[in-house]
Amino acid sequence: MAYEKIWANDPKLNKTELKKLEKDGLEVLKDIPYYAENGFSSIPKEEWDSFKWAGLYLQRPKKDGYFMMRVKVPTGILSFDQLVTLAQISKDYGRSIFDITTRQAIQFHWLTIENIPDIFHRLSHVGLSTTGACGDIPRNIIGNPLAGIDRDEVLDTRPIVKQVSDFFQNNEDFSNLPRKFKMSINANIYNAGNAEINDCAFIPAAKVIKGERKVGFHLKVGGGLSSAPKLAQLVDIFILPEQVLEVAKGVTTIFRDFGYREKRHRARLKFLVEDWGVEKFKDTLLKYTGPLEGAGEDLTNGWNAGYFYGVYPQKQAGLHYVGINIPLGRLHADDVLELARVAKLYGDGEVRTCGTQNIIIANVPTENIEALLNEKLFEKYPLKPPQFTGYAVSCTGTEFCNLALTETKERMKRIALFLDQELSIDVPVRMHMTGCPNSCGQRQIADLGLQGVLMRNKEKKMVQAFEIYVGGTLLNNGEINHKLKGKIAGEHLPNVLKQFLEYFRDTKQPKETFYEYVQRVGVESLQIELDRILGTTVTTA
Amino acid sequence: MNVYRFEVTTADQKVIPAVIVASTDEKAFSLVEVELEKYYLKLPDIENITLFEKKKLRNGGGFVVPYETNSRR
């Protein structure tokens, strides 16, 4: 142990903390070969949770012994070999399920403990890891999926992400944090790294230092959604690219040494930042990093919400990237292999995963674009998805989640399809559906959030229903969306949304986004319209 | 067992919060009605009973009930 666990003698530590003091989370990596040799029954029940540090969760029902595995993909960049390896793992061991997460990682399901050593070996062979994908540890570093090829980036973050990611990888000095720790490093001017919903986010900035304009980063800390959403706050410092690692270490050390370990539900960094305030946070951080310049010019100039559909020129002359839609982020292993083939044939095989669970094919020369676009793959995964389908997000819902009150994924798919057939608007509307008050579907930052409830009406009929939230964004430091009064039975939701969106279409200004519209007309006027719609619609079946 | 957070909306649009412990969603809804019957001498006219949230009950659990609820339907 290279550092002192200054919290070790705190009498108020929770049970998980006591367990982590006895045995560090990363120790599970040493045990896995034995368990793989001796089968699931050889794993003591009390060890199940520690598998998170290896990027493994037991699927429900836990006793069946099937694992979900998360593979880290820093800033979303995957080479051809990595993509093929992942596809093959999914095909050989994971029933061909290949999921892209909202933090740019890859997830498999249905793995057994006997499979794990071979999977680890294959991943390690291509430079990928699951260590730290879950657990109380720095997680996959997210950022700009276009890093290094982006005409809208102020600098190439790839070497910085690699440096920071490598530093924290298997680092026992930082494997026992109070809770998960999510970091974002992004230099795209449209906030491609969703800064405000991360514990620690580096965002593009510039400052004149000694007469010379330097490009670097600002820092935001203490963000996170979950059931008590909080948007990250700006710390008054300017960070040069070569200082990012020191600052990341400083923030993580503060979280490790001062973060709360008494109650797990109050352990995320946002609670410490809330109590300390950003001034005290900054003063403490400077003790670790040494002097830093005050904040300079913020270079963020909007929010693209992580969408990159279509063909666009890269910063490298003669090369293009191609953004495609992966509905709900789920691919079949065979489609991943086909994607790899196409990416290699027309580009250099490199692809990027997006926080919107979509894919970008990188480095396609101009002369290959036309042939690439004729590939059959893009009939299934289009470059120009229908407007509502292309901007719909959903949590798992009752299909797999025990906490969900409503079915969501298929419902959202059906509703988006219906809306695509029924109406067209001159701007996309980001709809997020979630089956409970938690944040898996990131309902809080949606233009139009839909939250599921279960309702029993006067006739004793049970119906799945939804509440509507409007006006979420990460623009201008972010805003959590606002709830409208009224509950809509699931079967009426498509029609109510259609009327609601028609009203938006008919009363909006040209090219006005949904967020701008809510800002202009106010939530109350949307409430009046929803009341009118609900007054003319039977909503409780 | 699960713990459930409900809102009961009456015909005159009053909202009554209710927290229930039960093993299934169905039982939880039934228990809301039982608890209402216990609580009110004259039962209000119930428009709907809505489940907003449930949690697994392992070593205990509960909810903060919003002081002012926005629900009207």
Would you state the pLDDT for residue B70? 42
Q: Is A483 in CB contact (< 8 Å) with chain B? A: yes
> Contact A497/A415 with Cβ under 8 angstroms?
yes
Mean pLDDT, rounded, for A244-250:
98
Would you state the pLDDT for residue A457? 83
Read off the pLDDT of residues A37-76 as tens digits, 9 standing for 90 and up.
999 999 999 999 999 999 999 987 788 999 999 999 999 9
Average pLDDT value over all residues in chain B: 87
Q: Could you give the count of Cα atoms lying within 13 Å of A80 in the half-sphere of its Cβ?
A: 13
Would you state the pLDDT for residue B67? 67
Helices and strands in chain A: count of H runs, count of E runs: 15, 22
User: Which one, of A399, A480, A473, lies nearest residue A437 by Cα?
Assistant: A480
Q: Do the bridges between strand A97-100 and strand A330-332 make them parallel or antiparallel, or are there none, so unpaired?
A: antiparallel
Query: Burial letters for A95-131: b for 16+ Cβ neighbours within 10 Å, e otherwise?
Result: ebbbbbbbbbbbbbbbbebebbeebbebbeeeebbbb
Residue in the structure block whose two tokens are 């419902």: A411
Q: How confident is the model at residue B73 (pLDDT cuts 50, 70, 90)?
A: very low
In a mutational test of the B interface, the residue from A456, A488, A528 whose CB has the highest number of chain B CBs within 10 Å is A456
Would you state the pLDDT for residue B58? 82
pLDDT at position A424 over 90: yes
Mean pLDDT, rounded, for A186-202:
98
What Rg do the C-alpha atoms of chain A give, in angstroms?
23
User: Which one, of A52, A509, A99, A162, lies nearest residue A336 by Cα?
Assistant: A99
Other CB atoms within 10 A of residue A89 CB: 23
Backbone angles phi, psi at A18, to 5 degrees: -65, -40
Read off the pLDDT of residues A429-481 as tens digits, 9 standing for 90 and up.
999 999 988 778 899 999 999 999 999 988 889 899 999 999 999 999 999 99
Taking CA atoms, what residue in B is nearest to A457? Answer: B48
In a mutational test of the A interface, the residue from B36, B50, B56 whose CB has the highest number of chain A CBs within 10 Å is B50
Mean pLDDT, rounded, for A325-338:
94
Would you state the pLDDT for residue A381? 96
pTM exceeds 0.75 = yes
User: Which one, of A197, A191, A213, lies nearest residue A296 by Cα?
Assistant: A213
Mean pLDDT, rounded, for A122-130:
98
Distance, CA of B72 to CA of B36 (rounded, Å) = 19
**Identity (one letter) of the amino acid at A67?**
F
- Cβ of A453 within 8 Å of Cβ of B52? The answer is yes
Would you state the pLDDT for residue B45? 93
Would you state the pLDDT for residue A228? 82
Would you state the pLDDT for residue B72? 40
**Catalytic sites of A, residue numbers:** 70, 179-180, 435, 440-441
Would you state the pLDDT for residue A421? 97
pLDDT at position A1 over 70: no
Q: Is A536 in CB contact (< 8 Å) with chain B? A: no
- Cβ of A485 within 8 Å of Cβ of B72? The answer is yes
> Contact A358/A308 with Cβ under 8 angstroms?
yes
Distance, CA of A356 to CA of A306 (rounded, Å) = 6
Q: Is B34 in CB contact (< 8 Å) with chain A? A: no
pLDDT at position A272 over 70: yes
- Cβ of B46 within 8 Å of Cβ of A458? The answer is yes
CA distance A306 to chain B (A): 30
Residue in the structure block whose two tokens are 């005050």: A294
Q: With pLDDT > 70 as the criterion, what percentage of chain B qualifies?
A: 90
A454 contacts in chain B (CB < 8 Å): 25, 29, 50-51
Any idea what DSSP says for residue A489? E
Read off the pLDDT of residues A159-178 as tens digits, 9 standing for 90 and up.
999 999 999 999 999 999 99
User: Which one, of A406, A461, A444, lies nearest residue B52 by Cα?
Assistant: A406
Distance, CA of A483 to CA of A451 (rounded, Å) = 10
User: Which one, of A94, A143, A136, lies nearest residue A115 by Cα?
Assistant: A94
